[in-house]
Structure 1
Amino acid sequence: MDYQIDLHTDQDPSRGYRLLPEAPACAPRELTVTLRCPARDVVLISMWSETGLLPQPRGASHYARLGISADRIDILSARLISLWQKFVQFEPVSGTNRPREQEPYIRYADLSSRPQSELLAQVSELAREGAYLLEELLDGEDRELARFRSHLLKVLQLEDLRIRFDSDLGVPWPMLAVDYESLLKDGRLSGDPFRLFVGHRHQVEATSGAYADYWWVSNRTRPVGSVNLDSDLKNVPLASDVLKLLNERMEITERHFREELLRDLSGPVLDEDLMYYFCHGSYEDQGGHTWHALRLSEELTIDAELVHGYRKPHSEAAARQGRVSLFHPLVILNTCFAGAPATTGFTSLSTAFVKHGALGVLAPQIAMPQVFGAEFALQFLTRYLDEGMTAGLALLETVRWFATTYRNPLALAYGLVCGLDSRVVLESPKGTTGS
């Protein structure tokens, strides 16, 4: 006679997660644009849509060879980033070229009280430069390129699309702008320049050349995360509010020193839904080579190669054994330059984290003012954790909030590497109903 045996487990071998056989249900990407660089003087561009937004070409794909070299794209991208850095440091002067009594933009996150003619002139110039880079990128008389350019610009001029830029080159996509001519009326500026930026119009992610072919969904009621910070930055306005929000919404591990972080990175399991960094970042250089690094509460640096070295044994072992390594956070690098293109062949921090399993990395491409960085984190994390938005939508809504409420464009300097669909889903405890 058969008996029904009740089984139960005292442990949770999946650590609150379960592996899915395919990507979880999410909205498709209306546009994917790829830039490939098989040689420095050859740059190939292609695009497609998962929603039929683009017309289907007959017997071919939307594909062209650009008339610009990779070196010039790198130069123009670096130049645009430097112009945004100058915006941060902008200090108004009088007609006698002496500083006015107003402080530079770097001191404030809220610029709504500044003279709007002054502010809009600065933002309009950033939009013009972003439009110029996009124009140079797509410039050329080749028939295929002209057709490609027409289709791409029509799509970018729409709003509220989900776009992926998959590129071999470090282009600051959210800072590009479209339809700059619409600002001009009788040769004078007219209208709101904020709406011209690609990162203000659309949800945007870039890819870093590193991909994960597995997906997780959370089963646990309370997410797990970490705060990795320079202790001196705890006194930055709103930094304590960010820490309070994270501690209220997640089980948090706090790290202040490199040794603590490397100890956890060296383990096979680093099971966090979110890794938040609020510390100093910089470009390091040696022998004509430069790369990114960040610092916690000490002078010892953490760079991409260090992350790669500590995670590589676990990633490779997992791949050989046909399993996945439990490292899957959304990483927020709220540190200067962390999202800027890596230079002279060095891998960026974003690439290193994504390569070893991170769902995505959100980071600024300039030296971000500390006061703005804390305000940005509070706005983004409120949408990501409290409102349950995906990272892509939370970033878009944060960009638009700063543009509308604070009249500050700096949220556009934050770029998302992968992670457009990343989200933290909270299940209600047993016996309760979730809203």
Structure 2
Amino acid sequence: MVSMWSETGLLPQPRSGVHYARLTISAEEIASLSARLISRWQQFVQYEPVSRSNRLREQKPFLHNADLSGHPQSELLGWVGELAREGAYLLDELLAGEEGELARFRDHLLSLLDRENLRIRFDSDLDVPWPMLVVGYDSLLDAGLLAHDPFQLFLGHRHQIESTSGAYADYWWVSDRSRAVGSVNLDLELENVTLAADVVKLLENRFDLTTRHFSHELLSDLARPVLDEDLMYFFCHGSYEEHGGRSWHALRLSDELTVDAPLVDGIRKSHTRAAARRGTVSLFHPLVVLNTCYAGAPATTGFTGLSAAFVEHGALGVLAPQVAVPQVFGAEFALEFLNRYLHQEMTAGLALLETVRWFAAAYRNPLALVYGLVCGLDSRVRSSSPEGMTGP
């Protein structure tokens, strides 16, 4: 089943207040098509152009460069157009069917998604890469690829988007202190990545900052009943771990101990449950930025994703990529997003949208679209001191 409602009057309101329909596609098919779309974006990252004589022209240009504005635009737009076609295909398959109720639902939904600058929550326990879906792909076919900018067709370029992935932030936290509190969780191997130091400096200027390099430091702090941080930033390696035919997400700091969703759950759940029994808030409320490979990708059957695990235990939201993001792009993305989120004091949803649009316009790079928010659309860090108020 699929349902939707609007609090803004953009949708015609049925008597029940909710539009709903039964999809013809199965949950398994949705998961398979989502994984396929993500794999296409990973192929984009790993792309190696060859000459007409079948010789390598450049070694993985989309992996080694964040700024693609100097890359041959016909080739780049060909790739972005192909990614747009794949995103449109998944959305088409998701909503396919001729039953009248579903057809009406589809018309209403597509008319909304075709707009711009909406605030949208996809409330589903299915991990669909919503920002990478596309509406209006037919306009590319009508106008010709070079006559239309394919970047603008992606939902993540059109709208502020969050998903829930089956996890909910059931309270809201607004800090009233003059100086926010945060942490940077950094793999020492990545300290010398271009702009990584600039990201840390930005955080140092804005936060009372804790720096962690090893898993035991992170796990020790996660075990505390009160972990009162407004932002937790991770820049480290992420992977799919595998054993016995099962796979799951994990991240690794500067040591070999991996941190995954069950580990986070096992450490935090006693504090979360105790707070629930008392009817009080457990003081763990950060926006978590997991700038690690695969951290936002769909979890495998039977496993909770890292993003959902943090949200279930109190995080206001988690921002994470769905693919193995190039390190140089990851640092550039963090600098652009955090500057908007912290210094311009935008909400996380608006900061992400503006970051996606900036990379598309200035760097002609679509990879910001692989970052998705699980909850946290309205999360923001504001200073209570008048001189610190720089945003709208």
Which residue of 212, 223, 236 maps to 1:266? 223
State how far apart, in whole Å, the 1-side matches of 2:85 and 2:337 are: 27
Q: Could you give the per-residue CA deviations for residues 235-293 of structure 1, whole angstroms, max 9, x where no partner exists?
A: 00000000000001111000011100010011100000000000000000111111000
State how far apart, in whole Å, the 1-side matches of 2:362 and 2:224 are: 43
Alignment partner, residue 314 of structure 1: 271
Which residue of 339, 354, 374 maps to 1:382? 339
CA contact (8 A) 1:128 1:180 kept: yes
* 1:172 lines up with 2:123 in the alignment: no
Unpaired runs of 5+ residues, structure 1, are 1-43
C-alpha deviation, 1:57, in angstroms: 2.0
Aligned pair in 2 of structure 1 residues 379, 63: CA closer, same or farther (>3 Å)?
same
Greater shift, 268-277 or 177-186, is seen at: 177-186
Q: Could you give the per-residue CA deviations for residues 139-182 of structure 1, whole angstroms, max 9, x where no partner exists?
A: 00110000000010000000000000011211000000001011
Which amino acid in the other structure matches residue 427 of structure 1? S
Q: Could you give the per-residue CA deviations for residues 28-47 of structure 1, whole angstroms, max 9, x where no partner exists?
A: xxxxxxxxxxxxxxxx1100
Aligned pair in 2 of structure 1 residues 331, 370: CA closer, same or farther (>3 Å)?
same
Alignment partner, residue 72 of structure 1: 29
Aligned pair in 2 of structure 1 residues 188, 303: CA closer, same or farther (>3 Å)?
closer
| Identity level (%) | 73
Alignment partner, residue 97 of structure 2: 140
Which amino acid in the other structure matches residue 380 of structure 1? F
Greater C-alpha Rg:
1
Question: Where do 1:70-149 residues align within 5 Å?
Answer: 70-101=27-58, 103-149=60-106
C-alpha deviation, 1:298, in angstroms: 1.1
Alignment partner, residue 245 of structure 2: 288
Aligned pair in 2 of structure 1 residues 186, 153: CA closer, same or farther (>3 Å)?
closer
State how far apart, in whole Å, the 2-side matches of 1:434 and 1:103 are: 42
TM-score (norm 1): 0.88
Aligned pair in 2 of structure 1 residues 397, 211: CA closer, same or farther (>3 Å)?
same
* 1:304 lines up with 2:300 in the alignment: no
Q: Could you give the per-residue CA deviations for residues 391-415 of structure 1, whole angstroms, max 9, x where no partner exists?
A: 0000000000000000000000000
Alignment partner, residue 14 of structure 2: 57
CA contact (8 A) 2:180 2:230 kept: yes
TM-align CA RMSD: 1.3
Which amino acid in the other structure matches residue 177 of structure 1? V
State how far apart, in whole Å, the 2-side matches of 1:91 and 1:433 are: 46
* 1:392 lines up with 2:392 in the alignment: no
Which amino acid in the other structure matches residue 154 of structure 2? F
Unpaired runs of 5+ residues, structure 2, are none
CA contact (8 A) 2:46 2:60 kept: no
Alignment partner, residue 31 of structure 1: none
* 1:352 lines up with 2:321 in the alignment: no
Q: Could you give the per-residue CA deviations for residues 11-60 of structure 1, whole angstroms, max 9, x where no partner exists?
A: xxxxxxxxxxxxxxxxxxxxxxxxxxxxxxxxx11000011110112457
C-alpha deviation, 1:121, in angstroms: 0.3
**Which structure's residues are more often strand, by fraction?**
1
CA contact (8 A) 1:48 1:62 kept: yes
